[in-house]
Amino acid sequence: MPYLPMPRTDEEAIAKNAKEQFEALGRFVEAFELMVNEVRETCIERVCAGIGSSKREQLIEISFHHQAMTAKPLYDIMRAIIAEIVNNPDNPHHADNASFRSLLGYIEGEYNHLYSKRNELLHGTWLIGYVSDDDPNASQFDIRKYKTTADGLKRATELPKNAPELLGLRDRCDVLRTWIGHVDFCLQNANRLSDFFKREDKTWIFRLFPSTDWTTLPER
């Protein structure tokens, strides 16, 4: 078999890139789970509001921490809980029930996108530290993840290829976690939704405080 020359590599650079990539994956997973926990805690707090017993609250927490309660069903439950709360004519947010429904639908689009990316990343086959002529220091990694479709196997696309792209997903989780937390903040403190959220055409925008600038969710 003929000798196939390998590209010239920098072992120190390869090790540095691999370390950054593994670390970025961990940072993304941490941020994703914190975002999901925000959803879980919102469910628990809204269900437990007013029952007046920490022991009862602990019993209610059991169902929301069960292994079956993954990211998607937790969000579906949270959205339904909030809908039931604001649809009550006696609730101070009843006049904004349509806004809550629209906002939570808008948030759900980003949440599902991150949920899908997380599943594809964690259930894919990671190839970190592999060099090539085009990437002799392994600054990029590859993830092999396929789906079964009616047309056969289809490879997952638009997955991160390097540490900065993974950290970008982490930042998206942090932003969405803040949005979800402020929805719950409005519900528990009777703050107006319009103090923090505003709809412009089909897009919702957010500000952390009434004195700060409006921001949007990051573009995909």
- Which residue ranges make up each domain of the chain? 11-206
Amino acid at 108: E
Q: For residues 183 and 37, what is the distance between their CA atoms, to the nearest angstrom? A: 14
Q: In three state form, how does the secondary structure of 61-115 look?
A: HHHHCCCCCCHHHHHHHHHHHHHHHHCCCCCCCHHHHHHHHHHHHHHHHHHHHHH
Render pLDDT for 189-203 as a digit per residue (tens, 0 to 9): 778 999 999 999 889
CB 47 within 8 A of CB 81: yes
Q: For residues 36 and 190, what is the distance between their CA atoms, to the nearest angstrom? A: 23
User: What does the pLDDT read at residue 53?
Assistant: 62
Go through 127-150 and write b for each residue having 16 or more CB atoms within 10 A of its CB, e for each that does not.
ebeebeeebebbbbbebebeeeee
| Span of 51-55, 142-146, 177-181 with lowest mean pLDDT | 51-55
Render pLDDT for 62-82 as a digit per residue (tens, 0 to 9): 889 898 899 999 999 999 999
Residue 93 confidence (pLDDT) above 60: yes
**58 CB neighbour count, 10 Å cutoff:** 11
CB 156 within 8 A of CB 146: yes
The DSSP H or E segment spanning 47 is: helix 11-48
Query: What is the token pair recorded at 41?
Result: 């805690």
